[in-house]
Amino acid sequence: MRLVKRRRRRRVQMPLAMKSERRNANEEEEKGKGGMYLWLLDRDGVINEDVGSPGVIDVDRFKFLPLVKESLWSIRRRQNVDESPTSKKTNAAVRKVVLITNQTCVGKEIITEEYLTDVIHKRMTEELSRGGGADAFFDAILYETSPVEVNNRRKPAPGMVLEALQMFPPNTPGKDGVIFVGDSMTDMMAAGRAEIESGRSITRVLVGTGYGSRVWSELAEEYEELIDDGVFYYYVESERNDVNKESSLDAFPEECFPLYVAKDLAAAVDIFL
């Protein structure tokens, strides 16, 4: 596992052996600044607290994670500015935000699809839109309810990611501009597989909330002296473990990499906005 430790607003000195990986992280971050036109977000563990299996089956258990509303509003407000008739920015800068989530609790008949969409997601959207204008925050909410693992839409399969790419095609011929933020290996696998099938580069960010908390805790413990009130994250270039210490990332297949590991969604947004 090759790591590049990065901090916004403070320089971090790194061994010379990491020089090439640091350059790659720098280049990708600069390409992404202001240019991520399509944000793909997992739900449980990224937007709201992960309550474990079988998921959120009672709307009262849907609780936003800290700073999630502010982070999502930041993306939406920037988009609103870009879409203003008086704005000098072009439509190429307009951002779209798509929620991509597995909801097998519906397929297992624990809750109905109507309860998922008309109660849980409705309340989520209403809370997000408060203070962010009349528009519903998410441009699309894609979900798969089937509990069957052999399903092209259920993550780690790439189906929903490919659907999002078709719904919101790139405004430029370049390959940059898509980011997937998730908290699990299956999220990163879905993004990686969609990248292979579509030919579009998809920046992958694993957040340290939900299932990603174990990965973040391991890295934070190893580099504890670097964690303070700054925004801190890691750029992981490959799954190869070049250090003696074991990591949960060792179990991630090659298609998951390269990826960023950020403390939470707020840190992920801070990297690219």
* pLDDT single digits (tens) 195-208: 999 999 999 999 99
Residue 8 has pLDDT above 50, yes or no: no
203, 180 contact by CB (below 8 A): yes
Per-residue confidence band for 129, with pLDDT thresholds at 50, 70 and 90: confident
Q: Count Cβ atoms below 10 Å from residue 196 Cβ, excluding itself.
A: 11
Active site residues: 42, 44
Residue 11 has pLDDT above 50, yes or no: no
Closest C-alpha among 152, 211, 147, 202 to residue 180: 202
pLDDT digits (tens, 9 = 90+) for 93-118: 478 899 999 999 999 999 999 999 99
Cα 236 from Cα 6, distance rounded (Å): 11
For helices 68-83 and 121-129, angle between their N-to-C axes, nearest 10 degrees: 70
∠229-234-239 over CA atoms, to 5°? 155
200, 165 contact by CB (below 8 A): yes
Closest C-alpha among 174, 61, 255 to residue 53: 61
